[in-house]
Structure 1
Amino acid sequence: MSSKEFDEPKTESHHGHSEVVEAEARVSHDNHDHAYDLDEKAKASDYKADAILAENAEHNMGVLEAVRAYPMATFWAFIMSFTIIMESYDVFLCNNFVALPAFKNKYGVWDEASGQYVIVTAWQSALQVSGQLGALIGVFLAGPLTSRIGYRWATITALMLLNCFIFVFYFAESLPVIFVAQILEGLPWGIFIANAPAYCSEIVPMKLRAPATQMLQMFWAIGSIIVAAVTFVYNPILDDSAFKIPIALQWMFPTPLAILLFLAPESPWWLVRKGRLEEAAKSVGRLGHKSRLENTKETVAMMRRVVELEKSEKEPSLLELFKGRDLYRTLIVCGVYASQNLTGNLIANQAVYFFEQAGLATHTAFALGLITSALQWIFVMLSWILTTYLGRRTIYLWGTAVNVVLLICLGIAGSVTSSIASTNAVASLGLIISVLFTLGAAPASWVIIGETSSLRLRPLTTGVGRASYYIVEIPCIFLASYLLNPTGGNLGGKCGYVWGGTGLLCFIIAYFYVPEMKGRSYREIDIMFKRRVPARKWAKTTIDVNDDE
């Protein structure tokens, strides 16, 4: 046998062996893949089971039980909500400055009709909208910034910027420079107002979402109380300290809050969206009581389940907010935000100036402004109970309806021949409207805003929603200033007809399009929006705990 003949069979045998080895390898690989698939299915089954356990636990948890189970979540929601004081403080400060004698004497013009210096309508409106213009830019910065670096670091960055911008306001010596300073201060406000409701709604269990997000309205009221107290004390003073000291008091807030937020946990939902599951579990552990540490696995599984429902290969973008089912969610957030300006809020924000134009003495107007702010704070806390037990849609709708009726009554009182009785009626109705606004529509709207958007697009949705608030508010401020100013419409209480009409429109739209999300997990909310359940049928719709859509 030749060498060639000997070698060929060996070669054929070698190929045959190679094919057998490859075939065995393929079988082994297929078996490995099959085992891997089974393992993954088993893991998915385990993680869904954990998710169902966590969701059922939240459904069965009472409000007080939730507070005991997640005490630190309540605390950190309180700290994040505190950032809203800074926007509230400055908004009310500028509104009160137009009624402050020292400020009017320095920057106003003499008005023969009233026999005093007044800030002309154009500058009055400009000062009131300047911060909102900055915040409008800030909310568009907030979404991409927060999506990239998280709620904590985005808010800390904004707090440090605010520290710098307060200097510009403090050393301003003309209305144009004050205008620019307010725009700069508005940039961080936009980040605060976009991040706070989203962060608060994400770190607390289901039963605490209402009070946690409603704390935003409480801190808005606290900001107005501080301003009312400070300007009440300084309104008799006629030198620059009457408005310089209130400006300087803004430095009380940013640095302590930045330190606290540095110590705060990041939203576990944000961490899960980023795939950082171990960090999410640690964050959940920090939010709950020590006895809850063993349940962090199930809670993260629940979050993973919802994030998987919303999963997309693309990075979140503003364009997505206006496509498919997310368009409806975006419109609800934008509409609820915008309607705050159309159902009595502008009277609440301009309370002191409103009382002054209603015919009350300056000192009395400032005192009544302080009383209004204190009552708002009390009524916001009462709203926690109403919204938690009666629902968001119910309180929002009927709070709006009551305010519409009262605004029409305000218009009627303002139409009566000027007298002490009509002046007192206008002032009283203005106070009642300002206070009831913080019991019904205002606090309920924060809960709706925090719950409506998808988790994946939440930072962007809250940013765009707040932008709609400013887009509506800015022209409304000019209108409100014109309606009240002696050099403008000088309508006094008759402005109630205008805001009553806009409030009625908001009520009708909300009745058909704002759903009831009380007692719903984020998974259930996602599914109901996907199924396009009509807003009025949400409360009666049942979602199976095993459904994944």
Structure 2
Amino acid sequence: MSGINEKQDDLHDEGGHVDVLHSKVLDNSDLMNDAFDGENHEHEQTLWAAAKSHPWACFWAFTMCFTIIMEAFDMFLNGNFVAQGAFQKQYGVYVDGSGWTIPTRWQSALFQSGQCGAFVGVFLAGPVTDRLGYRWTTLLALMLMNATIFISFFANSLTVLVIGQAFEGIPWGFFIANSPAYASEVAPLALRGALTATLQMSWSIGQIIVAAATLGYNKRTDEWAWRVPLALQWIFPTPLLIILFFAPESPWWLIRRGRKAEALRSIQRLGSKSPEESQRTLAMMERTVEIEVKQGGSPTLLDLLKGTDLRRTIITCLMYASQNFAGNLIANQATFFFEQAGISADKSFQLNLINSCLQFVANVISWPLTGWFCRRTIYLWGTATNICLLFILGICASVPQTSGTNYAQAVLGILISFVFAGTLGPISYTIIAETSAVRLRALSTAVGRAAYYVAEIPMIYLASQLLNPTGWNLAGKCGYVWGSTAVVCWMMAFFFLPELKHRSYREADILFNRKVPARKFKSTVIDVKDNE
């Protein structure tokens, strides 16, 4: 235990917020033994044992992930507005045979403006987070969110509403870049999959609130039919701002900054550990950080494109981008999709609420799935299932249409959303959070999310064209398009997606540095004493 005592003395001498050099864990046999013990303990810990010993890690990861509710809320809100009678009459055009509808170009602008703002936000998030930490960056983004909602709420034209959505998108970019990274860094190894999968649940919660609000105000014929749902955005930022003010900073970020005393306090706040266990966890983290520092030094955006980190960046970008190609955009415009499938407006809003609730159920199911099955297995089988459902949707829309085929298309749309929300949606966030190097995590998740927006912005335009009466008006036949793109996603994942379940961040670094093929990640043995 001499290493622990020596470490404790260093921490007491350290003085709070002063950044210091990392201790030489790799050159200290006692600290290395502590690191070995800390990593072995994480590997031996079961999911239930980790949850019992780290209740606060679960709480803070959940709370940070709940910031995603705001992006989900706005994303689905716009999708409901274009199907809302009062909104259509105020801002739409009359189309013979279809009634009032929002023109395709404005639909696309409403869906894309927030994503364009978020694209800017994710690029700002990486450097800002690397400098200020996850906690302060998120607090600043919540303050900005509160301010930008005013623009959308008081908008009196589609132009101003689009501008408001673009400004709101900037803090969304911070939330989506930081949440998976923070959740993965505060969680012990056994909980990493379940806690990062919480992000998809936050999307579902946002969708449920939107579905309920728009269903409740759908029958109004005045401007409050859409202004009240817009005002509901203010219920999120302030409570989260207050709660997250008391959140612990990620111990991994603190160690990267050399603030070991604060890192130790964060470790102790996140789990009910003895002083000896906390020291072992600290030594394990310091060892990984020191290995990465020796390999790459201070993180920059250019490092994402160098050496083995380029491979990790490509995987992160592909996983994020692929979320737009396996039927997810049907869920984003569910109410409008139901209407185009031949369902009445009132029934469409009711089905959207049912769809949102079922997605929440699927998210909850995804938690045990991450404990029982491997990441690759969940992603590949989830994608394969949606491929089949999407092509069946296309076939169903191609036969002579009746009331039965209309409802069949609606049910298939719900099933596609359910499968996405229970498998490839949440597991994508887990894979993204685990793939990047620790020192580049804030930058990697930000750039990966930027790839998502690069893919999503043109796909939103395509989705609007596929469904809109003023566009191609394909309704359920869009299943052929999204089924084909999902096939491409499945093939890329089969050949290039590595399995990182039960792998510590040190082991992941070694596997990538050794250039192990993706399909051999699971079977390759890494000794606890290996540093490279």
Question: Shorter-chain TM-score: what band?
Answer: over 0.9
Deviation at 1:426, TM superposition (A): 1.0
2:332 aligned with 1:349, yes or no?
yes
How far the C-alpha of 1:42 sits from its partner, in A, is 9.6
Asked if structure 1 preserves the Cα contact closer than 8 Å seen for 2:264 and 2:282, the reply is yes
Aligned match of 1:370: 353
Please state how far the C-alpha of 1:421 moved relative to its aligned partner. Answer: 1.8
* Aligned positions of 1:472-487 closer than 5 A: 472-487=455-470
Match of 1:300 in 2: 282
Judge which range, 43-52 or 151-160, deviates more: 43-52
CA contact (8 A) 2:25 2:31 kept: no
Determine which of 101, 113, 127 is the counterpart of 2:85: 101
Match of 2:62 in 1: 78
Alignment partners' CA distance in 1, 2:38 and 2:361:
34
Q: TM-score, normalised by structure 1?
A: 0.91
Contact 2:25–2:287 (8 Å) recurs in 1:
no
CA contact (8 A) 2:305 2:313 kept: yes
2:312 to 322, 325, 329: 329
Instruction: Read off the aligned partner of 2:286 and give its amino acid letter.
Output: R
The residue number in structure 2 matching 1:164 is 147
Q: Which residue of 1 aligns with 2:18?
A: none
Q: CA deviation at 1:294?
A: 3.5
**Residue 541 (structure 1) shift:** 1.0
CA contact (8 A) 2:118 2:169 kept: yes
Report the Cα distance in structure 2 between the residues aligned to 1:293 and 1:86, rounded to whole angstroms. Answer: 38
Alignment of 1:40-59 (within 5 A): 44-59=28-43
Change over 3 Å in CA distance of 1:353–1:196 after alignment to 2 = same
| Inter-CA distance 237–44: structure 2 relative to 1 (3 Å threshold) | same
SS in 1 for 2:28: helix
Question: 1:180-259 alignment to 2 at 5 Å?
Answer: 180-259=163-242
**Which residue of structure 1 lines up, in the alignment, with residue 491 of structure 2?**
508
Matched, 1:131 2:89: no
Alignment of 1:382 with 2:365, yes or no, is yes
- SS of residue in 1 equivalent to 2:94: strand
Assess, with a 3 A threshold, how the Cα gap between structure 1 residues 42 and 514 changes in structure 2: closer, same or farther. closer
Q: Which amino acid aligns with 1:86?
A: M
Q: Which residue is equivalent to 2:3?
A: none
Quick check: 42-51 or 129-138, which moved more? Answer: 42-51
SS at match of 1:515: coil
Q: Deviations over 1:72-115 (max 9, x none)?
A: 0001001101100000000000111000111111111111221x
Give the aligned residue type for 2:508. I
Q: CA deviation at 1:410?
A: 0.6
Instruction: Give the C-alpha shift of residue 493 in structure 1.
Output: 0.6
Find the structure with the greater CA-based Rg.
1
- Residue of structure 2 in register with 1:146 after alignment: 129
The 8 Å contact of residues 69 and 292 in structure 1, kept in 2 or not, is answered as no
**Residue equivalent to 2:95:** 111
SS in 2 for 1:302: helix
Instruction: Report the TM-score, using the length of structure 2 for normalisation.
Output: 0.94
Corresponding letter in the other structure for 1:538: F
Structure 1 residues 539 and 41, CA, compared in 2 at 3 Å: closer, same or farther?
closer
State the distance in 2 between where 1:347 and 1:130 align: 18
Q: Is the 8 A contact 2:153 2:227 kept in 1?
A: yes
Contact 1:152 1:266 survives alignment (8 Å): yes
Deviations 1:428-474 (A, max 9, x none): 11111011111111011010001000000000000000000000000
Tell me, in whole angstroms, the C-alpha distance in 1 between the residues paired with 2:375 and 2:208.
26
How big is the shift at 1:304? 0.5
- 1:40, distance to aligned residue in structure 2 (A): 6.8
One-letter code aligned to 2:213? V
What CA distance in whole angstroms lies between the structure 1 residues aligned with 2:328 and 2:25?
53
Unmatched runs of 5 consecutive residues or more in structure 2? 1-22
Q: 1:238 to 1:293 in 2, by over 3 A?
A: farther
Q: Which residue of 2 aligns with 1:6?
A: none
Instruction: Return the offset for 1:295.
Output: 1.4
Counterpart of 2:87 in structure 1: which amino acid? F
Secondary structure of 1:110's partner?
strand
Which residue identity does 1:339 align to in structure 2? S
Displacement of 1:287 in angstroms is 0.4
Query: Residue 325 of structure 1: SS of its match in structure 2?
Result: helix
**CA–CA distance in structure 1, aligned partners of residues 242 and 198 of structure 2:** 20
Deviation at 1:68, TM superposition (A): 1.1
What is the identity percentage for the equivalent residue pairs of Structure 1 and Structure 2? 55
Aligned partners of 2:417, 2:290: CA distance in 1, in Å? Answer: 43
Aligned to 2:507: 524
1:311 equivalent in alignment to 2:293: yes
For the residues of structure 1 that align with 2:377 and 2:259, how far apart are their CA atoms? 38
Query: Secondary structure of the equivalent of 1:265?
Result: coil
Whether the 8 Å CA contact 1:388–1:518 is kept in 2: the answer is no
Moved over 6 A (4+): 39-43
CA distance in 1, matches of 2:187, 2:165: 33
Per-residue CA shift, 1:232-267, capped at 9, x if unaligned?
111011111111110011000101111111100000
What is the CA distance between 1:43 and its match in structure 2?
Answer: 6.3
One-letter amino acid of the counterpart of residue 45, structure 1: S
1:315 CA displacement: 3.0
Between the aligned partners of 1:319 and 1:404, the Cα distance in structure 2 is 36
Counterpart of 2:46?
62
Secondary structure of 2:299's counterpart equals coil
Q: Is the 8 A contact 1:225 1:373 kept in 2?
A: yes
Give aligned pairs, total: 509
Q: Where do 1:399-548 residues align within 5 Å?
A: 399-548=382-531
Cα distance, 1:292 vs. partner? 3.5
Structure 1, unmatched stretches of 5+, are: 1-38
Following the alignment from structure 1 to structure 2, what is the Cα–Cα distance between the partners of residues 40 and 243? 59
Code of the aligned partner of 1:216:
L
- State the SS of the aligned residue for 1:117: strand
1:318: Cα distance to partner? 1.0
| Secondary structure, aligned partner of 1:539 | coil
User: Is the 8 Å Cα contact of residues 289 and 438 (structure 2) preserved in structure 1?
Assistant: yes
Q: Which residue of 2 aligns with 1:14?
A: none
Distance, in Å, in 2 between the alignment partners of 1:439 and 1:218 is: 9
Deviation at 1:41, TM superposition (A): 8.4
**Contact 1:95-1:350 within 8 A present in 2 as well:** yes
Distance 2:132 2:278 in 1: 23
* 1:398-431 deviation digits (Å, cap 9, x = unpaired): 1001101110111100111121121111111111
Does structure 1 retain, via aligned residues, the 8 Å contact 2:25–2:283?
Answer: no
Maintained 8 Å contact 2:25/2:286:
no
The Cα of 1:285 is off from its aligned counterpart by 0.5
- How far is 1:388 from its partner? 1.7
Give RMSD over aligned pairs. 1.2
Q: CA deviation at 1:314?
A: 4.4
